[in-house]
Amino acid sequence: MTMDRYVITGKQRLQGVVKTSGSKNASLPLMAATILAEGQTVLTGVPRINDILNMIEVLKNLGCKVKFERNEMTIDTSTLVENTIDEELMRKMRASNLILGPMIAKNGRVKISRPGGCAIGTRPMDQHIKGLKLLGVTIKEKHGYIEASADKLRGAEIYFDVPSVGATENIMMAAVLAEGTTIIRNAAKEPEIVDLQNLLNKMGAKVRGAGTHVIHIEGVKSLHSAEHTVIPDRIEAGTHMIAAVMTEGDVVVENVVPEHISPVIAKLRQGGADIKIDGDSVRVKHQGRFKSLDVKTLAYPGFPTDLQPQFLALLTIAEGTSIVSETIFENRFQHVAELVRMGANITVEGRTAIIRGAPNLEGTFVEATDLRAGAALFLAALAAEEGTVLERVDHIDRGYENLEEKYRTLGAKLQRVVKRD
């Protein structure tokens, strides 16, 4: 893994047009779902980012054949033989736990190393395990591995204590081949869940209700391959919109589903940005110093936790004092210390950050700790008075396709310094 750094010139007013890539958080479950189909499934609009490349490794490790040219991926699962994901692969990307459901449904057994926590939280899997057990899966957990097996999956009624995105996706994928009907209550409602339902139904599954808190799944005997285009990445789109306001710019973000990003549009408007929606494009114009406001992250359709770091960076130069509450993850303020190094005035009390707006940020040396914290620091560097060196760009490479190209097109001046470890 490279530990590259960015050298970013400050005070770059972003202007122009940027096209959002396909959604990372839709592509990962869609790739896992192809395990359920007989034959070759084609996914188009898949972003070429490291999390996707890692998921390809996971599928190849299981014996699948994967072709990925430009943004089109063909996955052939007819040679699926393995059913174990080793620790090294799991550590690289915890979303590989999304193979649990489809592997149990297809093969009747799977063994994954329990995905470690990450910078933002412990990332428990109790809801995944609770749902699988209710479907008739035997789960053994030892030596850091989760071993799951089932002779037959039977439909069940499952209530989630928290609307977990991953658990909802895993149970949907396990239940589509179960005998009988499964009802998931308190399901996550994210657009990525709806995208997964759409692919599963193209494969012959009978799933309805995704996007609401109750999802009905009628088990079928088998699923066939299909073709599917991934929805746009709402978190990438939101990142660009915040960047436009932070740099006092004027940017058109294309390939957006505005409804998927409505909380961010609402908050940017509340703070004084001028936002015009035109079909699948959103034009974001800075108009006067951004006004402070309060943000609370919630499960969809609330304000997305994945845009909390980026929005918090914007609030560091807003007029007045803002309060940001992070209700989803227990440790998602790693970007705060780095922003304080850039001259921001922030205090954190548990899951709440109090931000007193400063006139500007100062360029300095900062380090990304995780994907979205890295994105927040990237935006802060573009807005800062002087230049900034941003270490550990590998975190950002996980979730943003062609970031340098996209931002150079918008007028940013930045270099990537390759550092071989």
- Which member of 31, 90, 110, 167 binds ligand EPZ (CB under 6 A)? 167
As given in the structure block, the two tokens for residue 296 are 């609370």
28 binds ligand EPZ (CB under 6 A): yes
372 binds ligand EPZ (CB under 6 A): yes
Please give the residue whose beta carbon sits closest to ligand EPZ in the complex: 166
CA atoms within 13 A on the CB side of 186: 10
Strand partners for 252: 17, 283
- Which member of 88, 91, 117, 124 binds ligand EPZ (CB under 6 A)? 124
Name the amino acid, one letter, at 420: R
Q: Shortest approach of ligand EPZ to residue 371 CB, angstroms?
A: 5
Give 152: exposed, middle or buried? Use CB within 10 Å, 0-12, 13-18, 19+.
exposed
121 binds ligand EPZ (CB under 6 A): yes
Q: Shortest approach of ligand EPZ to residue 161 CB, angstroms?
A: 7
Q: Which is nearer to ligand EPZ, 128 or 267 (CB)?
A: 128
- Which member of 5, 106, 114, 128 binds ligand EPZ (CB under 6 A)? 128
Residues 66-95 that bind ligand EPZ (CB under 6 A): 95
How many other C-beta atoms are found inside a 10 Å radius of the C-beta of residue 189? 20
- Which member of 6, 290, 329, 378 binds ligand EPZ (CB under 6 A)? 329
- Which member of 73, 328, 344, 366 binds ligand EPZ (CB under 6 A)? 328
Give the residue from 112, 90, 86, 92 showing the smallest Cα distance to 101.
112
User: From the candidates 53, 66, 118, 183, which is the catalytic residue?
Assistant: 118
126 binds ligand EPZ (CB under 6 A): yes
CA–CA dist 403, 206 (Å, integer): 38
- Which member of 166, 191, 258, 263 binds ligand EPZ (CB under 6 A)? 166
Q: Which is nearer to ligand EPZ, 286 or 392 (CB)?
A: 392
116 binds ligand EPZ (CB under 6 A): no
Piece of 31-39, 118-126, 245-253, 355-363 that binds ligand EPZ (CB under 6 A): 118-126
Q: Shortest approach of ligand EPZ to residue 269 CB, angstroms?
A: 23
Binding mask 170-209 for ligand EPZ (x = CB under 6 A): ------------------x---------------------
Q: Is 369 left (phi over 0), alpha (psi -120 to 50) or beta?
A: alpha
371 binds ligand EPZ (CB under 6 A): yes
- Size of residue set near ligand EPZ by CB under 6 A: 24
CA–CA dist 300, 322 (Å, integer): 22
CA–CA dist 246, 235 (Å, integer): 16
- Which member of 165, 264, 293, 410 binds ligand EPZ (CB under 6 A)? 165
CA–CA dist 277, 325 (Å, integer): 28
Tell me if residue 64 is catalytic: no
CA–CA dist 371, 98 (Å, integer): 19
Q: Give every CB contact of residue 298 below 8 A, 6+ residues apart in sequence.
A: 327, 328
For residue 186, report the phi and psi dihedrals to the nearest 5 degrees: 60, 40
399 binds ligand EPZ (CB under 6 A): yes
Piece of 22-30, 176-184, 333-341, 401-409 that binds ligand EPZ (CB under 6 A): 22-30
Q: Shortest approach of ligand EPZ to residue 329 CB, angstroms?
A: 5
Piece of 33-41, 125-133, 216-224, 254-262 that binds ligand EPZ (CB under 6 A): 125-133
As given in the structure block, the two tokens for residue 337 are 């210390």
For residue 274, report the phi and psi dihedrals to the nearest 5 degrees: -100, 115
Query: If residue 199 lies in a helix (H) or strand (E), which one and from where to where?
Result: helix 191-202
Q: Give every CB contact of residue 228 below 8 A, 6+ residues apart in sequence.
A: 30, 41, 42, 43, 44, 195, 198, 199, 202
Catalytic residues: 118
Please give the residue ranges that form the binding site for ligand EPZ (CB under 6 A): 24-25, 28, 95, 121, 123-128, 162, 164-167, 188, 305-306, 328-329, 371-372, 399
